[in-house]
Each structure stands twice: as C-alpha cells, then as structure tokens.
Amino acid sequence: MSVPATDARTAHAAGVERLLESYRALPATAPVRLAKPTSNLFRSRADTDARGLDTSGLTHVIGVDAEARTADVAGMCTYEDLVAATLPHGLAPLVVPQLKTITLGGAVTGLGIESTSFRNGMPHESVLELDILTGAGAVLTASPGEHADLFRAFPNSYGTLGYAVRLRIELEPVRPFVALTHLRFNALADLVAAMDRIVATGSLDGIPVDYLDGVVFSADESYLCVGVQTAAPGPVSDYTRQQVYYRSIQHDDGATADRLTIHDYLWRWDTDWFWCSEAFGAQHPLIRRLWPRRYRRSSSYWKLMKLERRFDVGDRLEKLRGRPPRERVIQDIEVPIERCAEFLEWFLGNVPIEPIWLCPLRLRDDAGWPLYPLEPRRTYVNVGFWSTVPVGVAEGETNRRIEREVAELDGHKSLYSDAFYSRAEFDALYGGDAYRAAKQRYDPDGRLLDLYAKAVQRR
C-alpha cells in the first residue's frame, strides 16, 4: 500500500522501533526469526515455538520519487503492494518476481528473477542502499560505499546475516501494455540458440525486447515468450478468468501474438502459480468457474499445499493406489546458457516433470555477489521445475542427482527449497569464506541461524 510520504515515514520509524523492541524482548539465548504471515520458501523445516520479531510496521511503500526513479520500501512490503504504488507513476521495479506475496526484502536476501533479468539482472542489483537489522541488534545502512561487505554478502544469506528493514531501489519507466510473441521450437538446441541471440542483441528482428522467458513442454515442443512494451491502444487478454496463461502459449508452428496490460503481464504467472494450480483442480473449466477470482492466486494455492503437507494427503492417496510416496522436486537452478540444452536434455530424460520454465539472466554488476557467485558478463538460464516424483532408495534421491548435474555444468541452484549438499560442497558453491567473515562481524554471537544449517540441515 502507498500512503502520504510524511505519514509513511512516520509509520516506518514506528515500525522499526517495534521491531527493535521485539528484538530486545527476546532472551539473549533465544533464536531470532521473523513473524511472517506468508512465505515463499519450500524447505522442510523443523517446527519451532520461537517467538518471531514484530514486522507489522514494515509492510508499506515509504515513498516513490518519480523524478529520481527510485522508491524507498519497507523490507516486508510485497511486490503486489510495491507495483501498485509505482505503476501510477509509469514506473516499475527493474525486476518483479512472479508471485505477488514475495517481499522486496525476501527477494534481495533470497534472490529473485523474472523476464527482465536478461537485461536487469537480479532484484538485489537494483538496490542502492538498505537498512539491515543485524544479528547483533543494530540497524545499519549498507551500500556499495558503507558496510560494503554486508551489502555484498546480504544477497542469498536468507536472513542469516540480518533482515532488511528499508531498501532504496531503482525504478524504470514502463508503458501501459505488453505485446507478446510466442515462438515455437521443435528442438531444444534451436530454442537456446535463439534465446542467446536475443540476449546478445537485446532485440528480435531488429525490435528491442523488454521481456524474455520460455516454457518447455517436451523435448520437441518449447517456446520463447518475447515481450515488447507499447502504448498503442488495443484489445488485451485476461487470464484471471477462464483462460489459463501458460496454455495460451501453445500452438502448432511459427509464432503467435498476444497483448496484456503491464499489470496483468507482471502477474501473468501468479494467477495459476505458473501451472501448479492444476494440482488443486483450479484449471478444470467447471471448478474454475466456481473458484472466486480473488482466490486464484499463488498465496491461496500455497495455503492449500501447506494443508496437504500437514495432513499428508498426497502420500495417503498414493498408498491407496498401491504406489510409493512422492518426493518434492521444487527447484530453480542456473546454468550457463551454453550448457542449457545439455541440462534440459538430461532433465527430460531422467526426471518426469513437465512443463519447465526458462528465464535468461546476466548480472548487471561486475563486482559480483560472493554468496551466489555467478560470473559477470556471462549469460545464464534459470530453469524452474516444481512438482513431485516417486521416492527413491535414499532421501532426496532425485534432488541429489539434480544437484550433482547442475554442479557438473558449472551452475548453481537457489536455496528456497530442500538442499542436500555436504558442508564442503556448500561452502565452495555459496561463498563460505565471505559468508563466515560477514557472519563474524555482523552476528558475532550467532543469534541468527547459520546459512548451511538453515538451507540444508534444518529438516
């Protein structure tokens, strides 16, 4: 939500004070965590009765400076509220992750990506400065020039170095509509080659491209979705009703065109949680007609999934059918673009999950980010896959195979879901030395959980 600037800054200051009071109220030996009503993490986590920090006053947009193209945003503000505040100014964050309830602080400390990432990198790269509540209980302002080690180590630290209280981010101008072209490919190598050309040139057939992602339905049916901003008026599609966005991409040959408002484009994946709403029947025409539109959103499906896991509904049904339990394979990985087709071919031949999401990215910042050390000036492709497979002999067998394959291809995977690395593997992949130096300086008493313990061990 957005409120008058003076009121918003006063409310933010009060929210920071409540956060600090809740921190000070914790016993010195008590673990520290946030009290959050929503989450976009999918790790198996041990139950805890630990009291969370009060973040109730840190959910708003503090101010939008349309002339400077910046926004000051509280750390727990969702992208849904952030976009609602910036679009009236004809502006948007440089990267808007796909799901409405992702928070800006969460996207920075836990990474994020979307179809502007081939030109704008990741959300943390548009942060100019941020205030962080550290494990030591101090609120510090970090920027490239002040507490630069914390500024660099914060992305991919998942709240183990501190929590974002306020962030100042860059914004970019946007037009009212997005014209889409969906290009079909019958071979994965051809799709990856076309993606590489668009990233390298920033254009398709001489026209500058603003948005680029893709979907793989099978080895011989895949698509690039190319978006161009436009102010030209005209009819637009609405995929919050009966039609499903990802199904609109599919066609026989060549290219098809579509148009969305900029608002609906930014949230095109949220309505059906990409394609995962199918598991709840939300894509069945009759059920969809009866399903209230306000509940056709990722946060609703996440709550349903949480209930399913709590009562073990899926595995109970599998048992009744005489089938083994299922292993969750909910992952986003990055591999260099020259290895992307190789990974996709391996994945399709070894993991029974389709569709698969593709999103190219290049870092904007040459200095790099030590806890997720992608190479500057190198193109990567994010590959997202979110489903279940039959369990294997060992715990997390399919996830472990994916981790090994990604490492062999010089890639990384995001840590929002289950991970199975050894400590040595984890340190090598996620900047262990830089992390420990920042941890010692900004959380010397270990009030916050260790990153390896949080990402791997806490199951």
User: 19 in a domain, yes or no?
Assistant: yes
Residue 77 falls inside a structural domain: yes
The answer on pLDDT for 133 being more than 80 is yes
Return the pLDDT at 279: 93
Which of 43-57, 251-265, 322-336 is predicted with the least confidence, judged by mean pLDDT? Answer: 43-57
- Which residue blocks in 239-396 are alpha helix, DSSP H? 245-248, 262-266, 285-290, 298-311, 313-320, 340-350
The two three-digit tokens of residue 176, written as one number: 């009212």
Tokens 């992750």 belong to: 97
Specify if 416 maps to a domain: no
In angstroms, the CA 312 to CA 330 distance is: 17
Residue with tokens 């509904």: 313
pLDDT for 264-301, tens place per residue?
Answer: 999 999 999 999 999 999 999 999 999 999 999 999 99
For the cut 90, the answer to whether the pLDDT of residue 348 exceeds it is yes
* Helix/strand/coil for 304: helix
When pLDDT is averaged across residues 47-51 and rounded to a whole number, the result is 56
What is the spatial distance between Cα 193 and Cα 170, in angstroms, rounded to a whole number? 31
Residue 126 forms part of a structural domain: yes
Assess if residue 399 is contained within a domain: no
d(CA 434, CA 418): 23
The answer to whether residue 34 sits within a structural domain is yes
Q: From residue 19, give the alpha-carbon distance in Å to each of 15, 23, 25, 50, 429.
A: 6, 6, 10, 15, 33
pTM of structure: 0.95
Phi first, then psi, for residue 403 (nearest 5°) are -55, -45
Q: How many helices (H) and strands (E) does the chain have?
A: 16, 16
**Stretch (H or E) spanning 80:** helix 79-86
* Residue 311's pLDDT band (cuts 50, 70, 90): confident
- Return the pLDDT at 1: 45
Q: How distant, in Å, are the alpha carbons of 274, 347, 390 from that of 219? A: 19, 10, 22
**Residue-level pLDDT at 43:** 57
Residue 144 structural domain = 5-174+445-457
Question: Is 62 domain-assigned?
Answer: yes
Question: At 11, which CATH number?
Answer: 3.30.465.10
Instruction: Give a yes or no: residue 11 inside a domain.
Output: yes
Q: Are 249 and 137 in contact (CB under 8 A)?
A: no
Cα dist. 225→194, 258, 454 in Å? 11, 10, 35
Q: Which amino acid is at 332?
A: D
Amino acid at site 298: S
**141 Cβ neighbours under 8 A, 6+ residues apart:** 129, 130, 131, 132, 147
Per-residue pLDDT, 2: 46
- How far apart, in whole angstroms, are the C-alpha atoms of residue 32 and residue 247? 43
pLDDT tens-digit profile of 26-37?
A: 988 888 888 766
Based on the structure, what is the number of domains in the chain? 1
Out of 47-51, 168-172, 216-220, 376-380, pick the least confident.
47-51
pLDDT of residue 242: 97
